[in-house]
A and B are shown apart, each in its own frame.
Chain A
Amino acid sequence: MPILSPQDHQAIQERFRKDLKRRVTLKLFSQSTSRLFVPGRECPSCPQTQQLLEELSSTSPLLELETIDFYNHQEVAREYGVERIPATVITRGKASGVKFYGLPSGYEFVTMIEGIIATSQPRPPLSADTRKRLRLVDQDVHIQVLVTPT
């Protein structure tokens, strides 16, 4: 049973048709479904996240989904700095620097769509002043935004 309503699907399709400029790949770090239940490796929102991202990527030929098993490919997870699952990394060539942890529902889903569009554009939508000040950042900065579904 689809997660996105037909109206949502169409609205997103329209939005991407208009604003998604280049190919973007969503790398979903999840776990493969197997009959073996391993305690400590539960990821209740993994299947739903997989389905939601499949539906999302079907709205545009420029949006791809790649699913990576977190436990079988830990070196890849480390490379992308993925610490927990489900994790969705927005990439275009290389990682955009933005990750989503958990099922991206509600407000977070909108944020992901905006993130996909921003990643596809030649330059991120920042003011000239911000761009200038960003050059002062010469240390690692980790921004975490915690949201709860509405």
Chain B
Amino acid sequence: MAMENPRIRADVIEAQEFPFLAQRYRVMGVPRTVINETVQFVGAVSEETLMDRVLEAIGKGEASPQSEEPAPSTLL
């Protein structure tokens, strides 16, 4: 997605090397994805779901009737 839209940047981070980040985002299972510090989820998701979450993170989300995702949590 970062390759398609220049407003999006994506970082893949080895959490063990950067424990500050691992702690900040409470990384336990892998992988944990955090979008704009607000939307986050654990594990792999489909391309469609990732797109849903990206739009949600910028306030353009819409309720999906088949959504299985738990309510987004915000970082403390």
Contacts and interface: CB of A to CB of B under 8 A. Distances in A.
A38 interface: no
Contact of B35 (A133, A136, A143): A143
B18 A147 contact: no
A141 B3 CA distance: 12
A143 B33 contact: yes
Given A96-B2, A146-B25, A147-B31, A130 B47 contact: yes
Contact of A97 (B10, B16, B55): B10
B53 to A, nearest CB: 9
B33 to A, nearest CB: 5
Nearest to B47: A130
A123 B22 CA distance: 32
A39 to B, nearest CB: 18
Contacts of A142: 8-11, 35-37
Interface of A: 45, 81, 84, 96-105, 107-108, 111-112, 118-119, 123-124, 126-127, 129-131, 133-149
B12 interface: yes
Interface of A is mostly: mixed
Given A96-B2, A142-B35, A145-B32, A101 B58 contact: no
Contacts of A124: 1, 3-4
B47 A127 contact: yes
B30 interface: yes
A112 B12 CA distance: 9
Contacts of B54: 137, 141, 143
A133 B51 contact: yes
Contacts of A112: 12
